[in-house]
Structure 1
Amino acid sequence: MLLQGNQSSPNATGSDPAVFFLTAVPGLEALHLWISIPFCSVFTVALLGNCTLLYVIKTEPSLHKHMLYFLTILPVISLVLSTTTMTKILSIFWFNSREISFNACLVQMFFLHSSSIMQSALLLAMAFDRYVAICNPLRYAAILTNSVIAKIRLAALTRAVLLMVPLPFLLRRLPYCQSHVISHCCCQHMAVVKLACADTSFNNVYGIIVTLFIMGLDLMIISLSYVKILRAALRLTSKEEQLKALSTCGSHLCAILVVYTPVVISSTIRRFGCHVTPHVHILLASFYLLFSPMMNPIVYSVKTKQIHDQVLLLFPRKRLLG
């Protein structure tokens, strides 16, 4: 059955529901325990990887550089993004704990979407860092001062909060007089909006505007930055200098692919994959919540030499072989 135990009234009426009910992966309830194994494994890797990355950057003075000041935010965002959602998802898989209070649902939604917005802003800030480092290397220290970096970080946080604060208020004004069952693993904005029995045009338009503003604007500026970076690198006299300049962008480019590729794939399938079953949509959307938190520390540990060397020092060869 979809809802069991004390979850007895998913179709209760009322404009302000006491609880919602998350379906996890509808149609695959019998496989939830098996599905939880890869999710739990990836979640564990994400936790260990991001905590290790934070520890290495915090404890090694040689890593306290401008690019890595931005990088310190990435593990924090990844930890917030993954723990906010995965603890509830795993409780559904393991204990069939599908209930989530209305307020808890709004809190989860706020942290889920604001973390994604901050992640995009961080990638934009790191693109600016690489642009300055390659296109204006002599003015790098003068442009990217500690004060400027602090302001960029504060602006990223402020943008995420300001864009997401309206969501709980917009959703609270809607009546939920029909089903309170959310066909998803977590409280995504549009999944909750679909349950309202009123005109949700403003919510839909607001969601589209925020998505276009974040995805469209950030990706456009990042792309323009890399056009200028590529032009500046190709002006260098030797192949060795060109490769050296471009190699400093490797980890950032990988992070961009890690963050944006699943979003693009999921959005494309949602809009054009008419014959794709709902549980495939939900599995893809849920795995996205873990993919970037898992991959980002791996990418930066492999592609950034300073971090790579410090991580290896945490796991000496003798200890690994012994």
Structure 2
Amino acid sequence: MEENRHRTGNQWLRITGTLLSLALLAYLLWQQDWQELWRQVRGVSLWVWLGCFGLYFSGQVFNALRWYILLRSKQVEITFLECLKLILSGAFASNFLPSTVGGDVLRVVGSQPFTGSYTLSLASVLLDRGLNVFAMLATLPFSFFTFTAPNVHLDLKQQLSSALALGLPALRQKLGKALKKFKDALLLWFNQPRVLAAALIISWLSVLVIFVGNIILAHHLGMPVKFYQVVGVNAITYLLTLLPITLNGYGVREVLITTLYVALGGSLEQAASLAVITRFFMLLETLPGSLWIGSYLSLIRLSKEDKASEPRLDGENGN
């Protein structure tokens, strides 16, 4: 009962945070000079759009490659294409479906026919997710180097403290559970350091392509930013969107990107355009997952039905 009440409270916090963030984003967009925004966007060539989207999509390909390596190291007979389908379907579920259908849950259930083990499927997804988070958070020093520069008028400590104060209680519980699960998953691959090293390198490649795509877009939108500054913006944005105060970071990510790039010398129109365009890329790259998500959702339904049909011991009926 207490756990359900806590889960409901977290859900309402995320819904409220998302609505407030979207409202603030709408206010920022309302303040823009739309003619200037259109001029900025129209000035970007089609090849730049396609190239940047290709970089974003390659991030998903690297994610699939990392997971494929982890699974194959455990003699799991799965193809790279199947891993990519599960990665895209899971990302699509996280972006477009209700929060009760999580992308990680879909990957765990969808990979079970190949692993033959719920434990191995869950451990591989947890380790895969943890390596990606580690790779991104390892770039946080660039954030402090960027936003503590004398020519940047932004109190990063104040921004962090206010955001952490809002989401810290829920974040502590979430991080505690996540770290324990990650540690347990890591133990299964602990005697395979080469596999872990390869997976970590691929994790850095998966975030590097995003940084490159963002710097190309930023320059073509006319923003005077350097590569290390783009890395810094992405790192701090990723950190704050980990806070469980919005649904999938909607709204808060766009507000953060706009605020941080304006602090680095970009105009409101340029920064907001970059925030919206990159969010569009993040959604568009997962759309192929819609082609296969139906079959994976069927597996989730069957899994729930199997658990519900399992015979119960005396006294398990709650009476």
Q: TM-score, normalised by structure 2?
A: 0.30
Q: TM-score, normalised by structure 1?
A: 0.30
